[in-house]
Amino acid sequence: MEKMEKNAAAVALGRLGGLKGGKARAKMLTAAARKRIAKRAAAARWKKKSASKR
Protein backbone atom coordinates (compact mmCIF):
# COMPACT_ATOMS: atom_id res chain seq x y z
CA MET A 1 0.00 0.00 0.00
CA GLU A 2 1.46 3.36 -1.05
CA LYS A 3 1.73 6.18 1.45
CA MET A 4 0.01 9.28 0.09
CA GLU A 5 1.71 12.60 0.78
CA LYS A 6 -0.36 15.56 1.90
CA ASN A 7 -0.37 18.87 0.09
CA ALA A 8 1.51 21.25 2.41
CA ALA A 9 -0.57 24.27 1.32
CA ALA A 10 -3.82 22.43 2.04
CA VAL A 11 -2.56 21.32 5.45
CA ALA A 12 -1.57 24.89 6.36
CA LEU A 13 -4.92 26.27 5.22
CA GLY A 14 -6.86 23.64 7.16
CA ARG A 15 -4.83 24.27 10.28
CA LEU A 16 -5.40 28.02 10.01
CA GLY A 17 -9.16 27.54 9.85
CA GLY A 18 -9.08 25.09 12.74
CA LEU A 19 -7.08 27.42 14.95
CA LYS A 20 -9.44 30.35 14.64
CA GLY A 21 -12.71 28.50 14.05
CA GLY A 22 -14.01 28.22 17.62
CA LYS A 23 -13.04 31.75 18.63
CA ALA A 24 -14.57 33.25 15.49
CA ARG A 25 -17.79 31.27 16.01
CA ALA A 26 -18.06 32.28 19.68
CA LYS A 27 -17.57 35.93 18.75
CA MET A 28 -20.44 35.68 16.24
CA LEU A 29 -22.92 34.04 18.66
CA THR A 30 -25.16 35.89 21.07
CA ALA A 31 -24.91 35.21 24.80
CA ALA A 32 -28.24 33.36 24.68
CA ALA A 33 -27.06 31.15 21.82
CA ARG A 34 -23.79 30.31 23.63
CA LYS A 35 -25.77 29.44 26.77
CA ARG A 36 -28.13 27.17 24.82
CA ILE A 37 -25.20 25.37 23.18
CA ALA A 38 -23.39 24.98 26.52
CA LYS A 39 -26.48 23.52 28.22
CA ARG A 40 -26.94 21.02 25.40
CA ALA A 41 -23.27 20.00 25.56
CA ALA A 42 -23.41 19.55 29.34
CA ALA A 43 -26.56 17.42 29.04
CA ALA A 44 -24.83 15.24 26.45
CA ARG A 45 -21.80 14.78 28.73
CA TRP A 46 -23.95 13.81 31.70
CA LYS A 47 -26.01 11.42 29.59
CA LYS A 48 -22.86 9.69 28.37
CA LYS A 49 -21.49 9.43 31.92
CA SER A 50 -24.66 7.93 33.39
CA ALA A 51 -25.04 5.47 30.51
CA SER A 52 -21.53 4.09 31.13
CA LYS A 53 -22.32 3.36 34.81
CA ARG A 54 -25.20 1.06 33.92
pLDDT range class, residue 4, cuts 50, 70, 90: confident
Counting other chains too, the contacts that 41-49 makes at CB distance below 8 Å and 24 or more residues apart are none
Q: Distance from CA of residue 28 to its chain's centroid?
A: 15
- Gap between the Cα atoms of 24 and 11, Å rounded: 20
- Gap between the Cα atoms of 10 and 37, Å rounded: 30
The 10s digit of each residue's pLDDT in 11-51 is 888 888 888 888 888 899 999 999 999 999 999 999 977 66
DSSP codes, 25-42: HHHHS-HHHHHHHHHHHH
